Amino acid sequence: MASIGHVIVGLAGARLLTTPKSSLRERLGLAAGLSALSLFPDADVIAFALRIPYEAEWGHRGASHSLLLALLLGIACGLMLARGRGHGQRLRVLIVAALVAISHGLLDALTDGGLGVALLWPWSHERIFFPLRPLPVAPIGLRLLGPRGLSVIAHELLYFLPLLLWTLWPAAKSPRR
């Protein structure tokens, strides 16, 4: 993926956690935090600079994209984002953060290129793709800004447009009592 979809998932998670009464600071903090959480597994591209092969356990789309690490990362981030909230709200933040983190590997398994995703690491090192793979894989690095990369970004925006529109649509205000 070109990461646009991952960011939109983070924005949607923030939308689930805010209300019309939420401050701008809270909205922006949740949007930034959950979008960063959704993107975090792709920090594994540093493996290329470290000469770690793509297909290695810690290569791109390897262990960092596993459901286990995503769950742990989501819980850790959820705990940070949930500070100062009531018990019911903390649980909601934890669940949303975990789902946002888990979404990364699942969405990458829907792409049409690469070697697959190590979703089941550490129990299995097999790279997995889902049978349905509608999302084009994005070129890595500055090639994302070339013609093919921009085409992938446009394709991804079309797929995620309904979720983006829902995320940006103004929240309905509660009826007055």
pLDDT tens track for 5-20: 999 999 999 999 998 8
- Provide the pLDDT for residue 177: 57
Q: Give the C-alpha separation, 6 to 145, whole Å.
A: 18
pLDDT of residue 20: 87
Q: Which pair of tokens denotes residue 8?
A: 């939109």
Rounded CA-CA distance 72/118 in Å is 16
Q: What is the pLDDT of residues 157-168, one digit of tens each?
A: 999 999 999 999
User: pTM higher than 0.85, yes or no?
Assistant: yes
pLDDT the model gives residue 119? 98
* Domain-wise residue ranges, the chain: 4-168
Angstrom distance (rounded) from CA 112 to CA 140: 14
| pLDDT tens-digit series, residues 30-86 | 999 999 999 999 999 999 999 999 999 999 999 999 999 999 999 999 999 988 888
Phi-psi region of 18 (alpha: psi -120 to 50; beta: other; left: phi over 0): beta
Could you give the C-alpha distances from 94 to 10, 22, 79, 109, in angstroms and in order? 13, 18, 6, 24
